[in-house]
Amino acid sequence: MSEQAVAVEEKKIIVKEREPLFSKKNKKLISDPLDENNPITIQVLGICSALAVTVQMKAAVVMSVAVLFVLILANVSISLIRNLIPNRIRIIVQLVVVAALVIIVDQVLKAYLFDVSKELSVFVGLIITNCIIMGRLEAFALGNKPWPAALDAIGNSLGYGMVLVIVSFFKELFGSGKLFGFEIFGNATEQTGLYAMGYMDNGLMLLPPSSLILVAVYIWIQKLRNPSLIETH
Amino acid sequence: MDLVNIFIRSAFVDNMIFAFFFGMCSYLAVSKTVKTAFGLGMAVIFVLVVTIPINYLIENYVLKEGALSWVGQEFSSVNLSYLTFIMFIAVIASTVQLVEMIVEKISPALYGALGIFLPLIAVNCAILGGALFMQEKQFTTIGQATVYGLGSGVGWFIAVVLIAAIRERIRYANIPGPLRGVGMAFLITGLMGLAFLGFMGFEI
């Protein structure tokens, strides 16, 4: 009788250890950063690149994919060696891993997407010091197994990419009347489409400060929908 | 005159924060009080002035195509520019560590004031961004690069102290709930950026 109980107990333990790949907890790792714990609007990380590359949607999408690639590989590799890294020099170890990955991204962009790489200029290099990457490495990868770390990376880079794409959508549409380079409102120089009726592009949308204001509005709407996120100074 | 122009350009026209958003993370994190903003601002100036000349030398004597020709004729076609990122970040991280140790030894008072901020600077985009822009601008002398570093640092310092002062003041204002904190900081930075656009094309 007691042996059976032990067997059942053992079975339970085994079941407990084998968490399904997409358990509730793991799904939360992906869905949380998209809204309640968004890296840009709530954690306030990785703002520099998020604001600077949003003039065109193409650049924003390329940047998000680059961050997705770097963050997943960095999170997994740091998580794999997390028990080997001495605590005192962990920042330098992380920087070297991330810098190596960013060099790969930079060389690939230069080889296959040269125009986008020219436009992103120094911001590809700045992925190294992108606070999202360092923040996730410090906060998550150093204390978790590779699989949750990978999910966390996917969630956070998607949350990052989402804000980038939304901001760049408004900036490109109202700043130059285009989306991904396609003319939506007609051609401004030849006065076709909406421009023939006297519509004008909003030059402010192309200037750097407008992305700050757009992100502020995004935060406003997000917190309006979810009052539990409101800060109390 | 050239140096003065570089300084003014980097400090005001191409302000690190308002034109390129470099170092926004720490900018938003430390700008709650003027005192911490002042400390981090000083530390950023310091580290930029130290690291940009070092990175300039590395760029021109190690990384650039043909930069290694001082070693010997056979090295004159070596191009190591793909190592830029890793070299720059290594220089920055180690300089920050070194500066931290030197300051701790020489002036404990300054270390007390800057102490907690110094390690943070290694991952501040303003430093790496400054180095990468220095590389892109292709300065001809090390003096120009140093002045560029000083100007960028001063620009960052001004921006962070200004917003800290404003944020200290608006703590007593009645802001709509959802905008409180980060949202308002973004809006204010946007408005300050618009004001700084007034410097566009400014030269002596």
CB contact under 8 A, B124 and A129: yes
Task: Please compute the mean of the pLDDT values over residues A137-155 and round it to a whole number.
Answer: 86
Coil vs helix vs strand at B122:
coil
A18 belongs to a structural domain? no
Contacts 24+ apart (CB under 8 A), A179-183: A179/A57, A180/A56, A180/A57, A180/A58, A181/A56, A181/A58
How close does chain B come to A10, measured CA to CA in Å? 47
A73 touches chain B (CB under 8 A): no
User: Residue B204 falls within a domain, yes or no?
Assistant: no
Our CA-based measurement puts residue A223 at a distance from the nearest CA of chain B, in whole angstroms, of 5
pLDDT tens-digit readout, A19-28: 666 777 777 7
Residue that the structure tokens 């010997």 belong to: B72
Quote the pLDDT of residue B158: 92
Choose the mutation target among B86, B100, B125 for the interface with A, i.e. most A CBs under 10 Å.
Answer: B125
Residue A140 · residue A29 · CB < 8 Å: no
**Model's pTM, two decimal places?**
0.82
Residue of chain B whose Cα is closest to the Cα of A210: B190
Q: Specify if A227 maps to a domain.
A: no
Which domain does B36 fall in, by range?
3-196
Q: Is A143 on the interface with B (CB under 8 A)?
A: no
A156 at B interface, C-beta within 8 A: no
A212–chain B Cβ distance below 8 A for any pair: yes
The answer to whether position B173 is within a domain reads: yes
pLDDT digits (tens, 9 = 90+) for B189-204: 889 888 888 887 777 6
Look at chain A and report how many structural domains it folds into.
1
Q: How confident is the model at residue A1 (pLDDT cuts 50, 70, 90)?
A: very low
Domains in chain B, number? 1
* Interval A76-128: pLDDT, tens: 999 898 888 887 777 788 888 888 998 898 889 889 988 888 888 778 888 88
CB contacts, 8 Å: B23 with chain A: 48
Instruction: Please report the number of interchain residue pairs, chain A to chain B, with beta-carbon separation below 8 angstroms.
Output: 144
**Domain annotation covers residue A190:** no
Range of the domain at A112: 48-168
Going B86 to B89 to B90 to B91, the CA torsion angle's sign is positive
Residue B121 lies in a domain: yes
List own/partner pairs for A112-115 with CB under 8 A and 24 or more apart.
A113/A62
Average pLDDT, chain B: 83
Distance CA A30, CA B126 (A): 30
Cβ atoms of residues A154 and A68 within 8 Å: yes
- Domain annotation covers residue B202: no
Residue A74 lies in a domain: yes
ipTM score assigned to the predicted complex: 0.81
Residue B162 CB partners (closer than 8 Å, separation 6+): B192
